[in-house]
Amino acid sequence: MELTNLAPIVLALPLLMFMIIGLFGYKMTPKFSGILGTTAFSIVTIVCYYIALTYFFGSGRLADGSMAKEVIFNFEWLRFSENLVISIGFLLDPISAMMLIVISTVSLMVHVYSMGYMHGEEGFQRYYAVLSLFSFAMLGLVVATNIFQMYIFWELVGVSSFLLISFYYTKPSAVKAAKKAFIVTRFADMFFLMGILILSFYTQTFDFGPLTEVTNNHVAIVSETMGGVTFCGLSVISIAVFLIFLGGAGKSAMFPFHIWLPDAMEGPTPASALIHAATMVVAGVYLVARLFPIYFFEAHDVLTIIAYIGAFTSLFAAVIACTQTDIKRVLAFSTISQIAYMMVALGVSGYEGNEGLGFTASMWHLFTHAMFKATLFLAAGCVIHAVHSNEMDAMGNLRKHLKITHIAFLIACLAIAGIPIFSGFFSKDEILVAAHEASPVIYWCQTLVAGLTAFYMFRLYYRIFWYNEPDYGHHTPHESPANMWIPLMVLTVYTCTSGFFPFTEYISPDLMGFESHIHWNIAIPSVIVALIGIGIATFMYKKKTEYPDKVVACIKNTYHYAYNKFYIDEIYLFITHKIIYKCICDPIAWFDRHIIDGFMNLLSWITNKTSLEIKSFQSGNVQQYAWVFILGVLSIVALTIYL
Amino acid sequence: MELLTASNIIFFILAAAIILFGILTVTSKKVLRAATSLFFVLFCIAGLYLQMNYQFLAAVQLSVYAGGIVVLFVFAILLIKNLGEETEQLCGAKRALGIITALTGLVISLITIYKYGFHTDSDRCNDIAAIIDMNEIGQTLMGTEKFQYILPFEAASVLLLACIVGSIVIAQNHKEEKK
Amino acid sequence: MSIPVEYYLIVSTLLFFIGVYGFVVRKNLISILMSIELMLNAVSINFVAFNRFVYPEHLEGYMYSLFVIVVAAAETAVAISIIINVYRKMKNIDTKSINELKN
C-alpha cells in the first residue's frame, strides 16, 4: 500500500477518537469507550509499524546506502506572507520512524493496561479521550515537517499532559501539580517560541528540510543568513538554538526546569508511564536531535552546554532518587536522570560516520528507555493497584503475591542498571563510549550515575518485592488481571530484545549508518560499577537492617538536602513569591488596580454623576423647567443687549 | 414735570397698589387671600387704563378679569376642599432661587428701560388724548383694512368656542366610568 | 398726561417679575395660574402704554391687550377645569404630586 494513503490515518484516527470519545463518551459505557479507543489505536499501531518497517527495511534505504528523508505529505495550512507559511505534513526519517514505533507501542500497551487499571474510575471515558488526544499530538510532533508544526503539537502534548495530571481534579495536590507542570513547561515554551521566531526571522523558513541540509560542514541557510550577526556579543545562532533548547529542557525536565516532573506523578500511573516516562518527556531530546545539524555545525558551544547541563541533571536527579520513598517519585527522578543521559549523548556527539555515535546512542537509549521505563511504571502501577499506596513502607515481600509483576520489574531494573543482554546495557554502553571520547569529566560523571542508577533501582526493587512484609491485614495483595499483565509482558519482551537491533546502521546524524560493536574497555567498568550498586542495595535492603539508618546518620545533612530535592522547589517559590510577586507583580497589580482601574472608575464615576445631574433636570417639575427657561431667556437677553 | 398734579398722585397710588397687591398675591399663604389680592391688582390696572383714557379697555378689564376670571378662581378654590384654609410651606432654597431669578430679570429690564431713553412727544399725546370713540373701536375690530382686526377677532371667537367645549369635556363628571 | 412712559414700564416690569417669582416658587396649581395672570397683565400694561405714548394715532396695542384679555379668560377657564379634574383624581393639586405621566 502507498504510504501517502496510510500516513494520514496515523494522525486522523486518534484525533477522530478524541472527538468521538470526548464528545459522546458520556453516552457510552466506560467499557465500550475503552474498547473503542484501544481498537482504534491498534489500527494506528499497525499502520505505524507498517510505515516504519517499510521505511527501515524497504523504501528508506537509498542507493548510496544512506537513509532517506521522505516527506509523505505536506499541505499548506496557513500562509501569512510570501515566505511565512505554516504547513502540516508528515516527515519520515530514521528518528521519526523510530519514534512512531516507540509511541505506538507504549501508547497501545497503556491503552490496554488502563482498561484494567482505571476500571471503575470516575471519568473513564474522559481518560480515554485525553489519551487519544495525547497520542495524536505526540505522533503529530514527531512527524512534523516544520518547526512550527512541531511547536503546535508541542503545546498540544502539553495540554494533554495537563489534563492527565489533573485527572483526579478533586484532589488539590493533583490540581497543583497540573498547574505547576503547565506553568513550568509553558515558561520554557516561551523561550522555544522566541528561538523559533529568531531562527525563522533570519532564515525565512520553518521547514526542517532546508534547516537541516548540510553542505560542506555548514547548514547553508543558517550560516548564510545568520552567520556573523551578533547580539550582545553572542552570535544570534547560538542565542536562537539555545532558546530552542530551553524549550526542550522544559519538556524534558532538565535542570532547572525539572521541578514539574516529580509532581506530575499525581496523574494516573498508566498516563505517567506514557507521558511522563516514555514519550512526551523525550520530546526535548527529539527536538535537539531534529535540529542536530544546526547545533553541531553552527552552534557547537551550545551543544557543549547541553552536554554539561545533561551531565549535571543526571547526577543531581540520581542522587535525589536514592532518597525518595514514594515509588513513583523514585521513577520520576530516574526518568529525569535517564533523559539527561540522552541529552549528554547528544551533547558529546560528533556528526560523520562513527563520530555520530552519541546521536545514535541517544536515540537508542530513548528507545530502550521508553520500553523499560514504561515497564517499570506499569509494574509500579500493578503494585499500587495491589497495595493501594505509593509509599514504600506499605510494601514488602510482594514477590510472593505478584509473581508476574515481579519478573517484569526485575528485568526492567536489570535493563536500566545496564546489565548485559538487557537493552539498557547496549544503549548505555554507547553513550559512555561517546562520552569517553568527548570528555573524561562527563564520562566519569556518567559512570557514577550508572552506579547510582543501579543502586536506587535495586533499592526500589528490594523495598517492594523483598524486605519485611508489612501488615497487609485481611486485604492480601493479589496479581493484577490479564489486561494489565499482558501489556507488561509485551513491554518486557521489548526490554529484553531491543538491545539487539542494529540501531547504528539505521540511525545516525548523517543518515549513512555505521557498524558498531561493544567497547568492552568501557562496558566492563560500567557493568562493575552497576554491580557494586546492586550489591550495596542488596546488602542494605534485601532484609530490614539497620544499615540504611546508619548511613543516613553519617551523611545526615546531605541526606536531608537530597530528600528535600535540594530545596529547588523552595528556591523557585522564594524567587516567585518573594521576589517576582513582591517586587514586580505587586507594583504592577497596584498600578493596574489603582491607576488604570482608578482612571476607568473615575470616568464611570464622572459619567454617573453627570447623568444623575442631568437626570434631575428632567424632573417632570414644570416650575423647574420654567425657571431654567426664564434663566435662559434672561441670559440671552443680557447677551444680545449688552454684548 | 409737575409731580403733584392730581392725575400723577393717582398714578402713583395705583402703581403702589399694583405692586403691593401683586406681592401679596404671590406671597400670601392662603390661596383665597391671594385671589383677593389678585382682584385688587386687576382692579388697579383697570385704573391705569382709565388714566390713559382707554375707558373701554378699562371696562373690559373690570368685567372680564375682575368680574369673570377672579370669580372663576374663587369658585375653584372653594370647590377644592380645604384649599382656602390650607397654608403652604415654601422651601427656602426654592424661594431664594425664585427671588434671585426675579431680581436678575428685574435689574436687566430696568437697566434696559433706563438706558433706552424713550422720546415721547407729550404734545402729540395730548392732542390725541381725547376719548376714543366706541364707533372707531368697533370699526377697527370688524374691519378688513390695514390696522383692522377681523381675523384675530374671528380666531378669538373660535378659540372661545373651543374653550367652552373643552372645559365642559374636561370637567365632566365621568359617572359612566364609575359604573 | 405728564407721567412718562418709563413709569408705566417700571410698574409692568415689577409686576411681571413678581409673577415670575410666584410661578417658580408657589406649589399649588391655582397660585401658579394666578401668577400667570399677573404676568399677562404686566404685558398688557406694556402694550397699552406703548400704544398710548408712542403710537397714539393707532389702536394696535389696545387691540392686543383686548385679545390678551380674551385669551386669558379662555385659558383660565380651561386651566381651572383641568385643575379641578386633577384634584378629583389625586385629591391634591401640588405640582410635585402630579407625576403620573412620568411612569
Query: For residue range A63-74, what is the model confidence (pLDDT) as tens digits?
Result: 777 888 888 888
Q: Does B109 touch chain C (CB under 8 A)?
A: yes
Q: pLDDT category, A109, cuts 50, 70, 90?
A: very high
Tens-place pLDDT, residues A3-33:
788 888 888 999 999 999 989 888 888 888 8
The count of structural domains within chain C is 1
Q: pLDDT category, C12, cuts 50, 70, 90?
A: very high
Lowest average pLDDT, out of A211-225, A437-451, A628-642, goes to: A211-225
Answer yes or no: do B44 and B125 share one domain: yes
Tens-place pLDDT, residues A111-168:
999 988 888 888 888 999 999 999 999 999 999 998 889 999 999 999 999 999 989 8
Chain A residue with CA closest to C31: the answer is: A623
Higher pLDDT, A615 or C72: C72
pLDDT for C36:
92
Answer yes or no: do B163 and B114 share one domain: no
Q: Is the pLDDT of residue B140 over 50?
A: yes
Cβ proximity of A348 and A437 under 8 Å: yes
Quickly list H helices, A143-219.
147-165, 172-203, 208-211
Tens-place pLDDT, residues B58-98:
999 999 988 889 998 998 888 886 665 555 666 777 888 88
Residue B1 belongs to a domain: no
Answer yes or no: do B91 and B161 share one domain: no
The Cα of B176 is separated from the nearest Cα of chain C by a number of Å equal to 15
Quickly list H helices, chain B.
6-27, 31-51, 55-60, 70-79, 92-116, 122-127, 134-142, 150-171, 175-178
Q: Which candidate from C53, C83, C84 shows the least CB-CB separation from B125?
A: C53
Q: Which candidate from B98, B113, B166 shows the least CB-CB separation from C6?
A: B113
pLDDT for A569:
80
Residues of A in CB contact (< 8 Å) with C are 620-623, 626-627, 630
Mean pLDDT for chain C overall: 85
Answer yes or no: do B125 and B173 share one domain: no
Q: pLDDT category, A104, cuts 50, 70, 90?
A: very high
Mean pLDDT for chain A overall: 87
Tens-place pLDDT, residues A366-399:
999 999 999 999 999 888 888 888 888 788 778 8
Q: List CB contacts (< 8 A) between B91 and chain A.
A: none
Chain C residue with CA closest to A627: the answer is: C24
Alpha carbon dihedral A276, A280, A281, A282, in 10-degree steps, equals: 130
Lowest average pLDDT, out of A20-34, A333-347, A545-559, goes to: A545-559
**pTM summary value:** 0.68
Q: pLDDT category, A567, cuts 50, 70, 90?
A: confident
Answer yes or no: do B162 and B140 share one domain: yes
Residue C73 belongs to a domain: yes
Answer yes or no: do B123 and B140 share one domain: no
Q: Is the pLDDT of residue B174 over 80?
A: no
C99 to A620: CB separation less than 8 angstroms, yes or no: yes
Tens-place pLDDT, residues A418-430:
888 888 888 888 8
Interface test with B, best of A616, A621, A634, A639 (most B CBs within 10 A): A634
Average of per-residue pLDDT across C11-19: 93
Q: Residue A175: is it exposed, middle or buried by C-beta count within 10 angstroms (0-12/13-18/19+)?
A: middle
Interface test with C, best of B32, B43, B52, B108 (most C CBs within 10 A): B52
DSSP assignment of A543-569: TT-SHHHHHHHHTHHHHHHHHTGGGHH
Of the candidates A138, A380, A177, A143, the one whose C-alpha atom is nearest the C-alpha of residue A278 is: A138
The Cα of C1 is separated from the nearest Cα of chain A by a number of Å equal to 30
Average of per-residue pLDDT across A167-193: 91
C45 to B45: CB separation less than 8 angstroms, yes or no: yes
Answer yes or no: do B88 and B170 share one domain: no
Q: Is the pLDDT of residue B30 over 60?
A: yes
The identity of residue A419, as a single letter, is: I
**CB neighbours of A347 closer than 8 A, spacing ≥ 6?**
A303, A304, A305, A306, A307, A308, A309, A310, A311, A358, A438
Residue C37 belongs to a domain: yes
Query: What whole-number distance in Å separates Cα of residue A526 and Cα of residue A444?
Result: 10
pLDDT for A162:
92
Answer yes or no: do B122 and B142 share one domain: no
Higher pLDDT, B18 or B1: B18
Query: What whole-number distance in Å separates Cα of residue A358 and Cα of residue A350?
Result: 7
A621 to C32: CB separation less than 8 angstroms, yes or no: no
pLDDT for C103:
47
Q: Does B38 touch chain C (CB under 8 A)?
A: yes
Tens-place pLDDT, residues A301-331:
889 999 999 999 999 899 888 888 888 889 9
* C:9-48 residues touching chain A, CB 8 A cutoff: 20, 23-25, 32
Answer yes or no: do B124 and B139 share one domain: no
Q: List CB contacts (< 8 A) between B132 and chain C.
A: 59, 62
Query: What whole-number distance in Å separates Cα of residue B34 and Cα of residue A132?
Result: 93
Q: Does B132 touch chain C (CB under 8 A)?
A: yes
Count of CB atoms within 10 A of residue A600's CB? 10
* A:21-80 residues touching chain B, CB 8 A cutoff: none
Q: List CB contacts (< 8 A) between C20 and chain A.
A: 630
Answer yes or no: do B141 and B108 share one domain: no
Q: pLDDT category, B47, cuts 50, 70, 90?
A: very high
The Cα of B68 is separated from the nearest Cα of chain C by a number of Å equal to 8
Q: Does B98 touch chain A (CB under 8 A)?
A: yes
Subunits with at least 3 CB pairs below 8 A relative to chain B?
A, C
Average of per-residue pLDDT across A411-436: 88
Of the candidates A589, A571, A387, A575, the one whose C-alpha atom is nearest the C-alpha of residue A472 is: A387
Whole-number Cα distances in Å, A190 to A197, A303, A336, C91: 11, 20, 21, 76
Q: pLDDT category, C99, cuts 50, 70, 90?
A: low
Average of per-residue pLDDT across C14-41: 90
pLDDT for B179:
46
Q: Does C50 touch chain B (CB under 8 A)?
A: no
Cβ proximity of A174 and A167 under 8 Å: yes
Residue C103 belongs to a domain: no
Higher pLDDT, A426 or A518: A426
* C:60-89 residues touching chain A, CB 8 A cutoff: none
Q: In the structure grid, which three cell numbers stand for residue B33, read together?
A: 387671600
Tens-place pLDDT, residues A495-514:
888 888 888 888 888 888 78
Residue C60 belongs to a domain: yes
Answer yes or no: do B97 and B35 share one domain: yes
C102 to A620: CB separation less than 8 angstroms, yes or no: yes
pLDDT for B90:
67
pLDDT for B85:
56
What is the residue range of C13's domain? 5-92
Cβ proximity of A253 and A261 under 8 Å: yes
Interface test with A, best of B90, B95, B104 (most A CBs within 10 A): B104
The Cα of C20 is separated from the nearest Cα of chain A by a number of Å equal to 8
What is the residue range of B11's domain? 6-132
Q: List CB contacts (< 8 A) between B101 and chain A.
A: 627, 630-631, 634
Residue C68 belongs to a domain: yes
Q: pLDDT category, A231, cuts 50, 70, 90?
A: confident
| For chain A, domain boundaries | 303-563, 569-642
The Cα of C67 is separated from the nearest Cα of chain B by a number of Å equal to 7
Query: What's the CATH number where B86 sits?
Result: 1.20.120.1200
Average of per-residue pLDDT across A562-589: 82
pLDDT for C45:
92
Percent of chain C whose pLDDT exceeds 70: 90
Query: What whole-number distance in Å separates Cα of residue A437 and Cα of residue A515?
Result: 17
Q: Is the pLDDT of residue A461 over 70?
A: yes
Query: What's the CATH number where C58 sits?
Result: 1.10.287.3510
Query: What whole-number distance in Å separates Cα of residue A261 and Cα of residue C80?
Result: 90
pLDDT for A287:
92
C76 to B72: CB separation less than 8 angstroms, yes or no: yes
Answer yes or no: do B78 and B141 share one domain: no
The Cα of A622 is separated from the nearest Cα of chain B by a number of Å equal to 13
Higher pLDDT, C101 or A251: A251
The count of structural domains within chain B is 2
Tens-place pLDDT, residues A281-307:
899 999 999 989 888 888 888 899 999
pLDDT for B89:
64
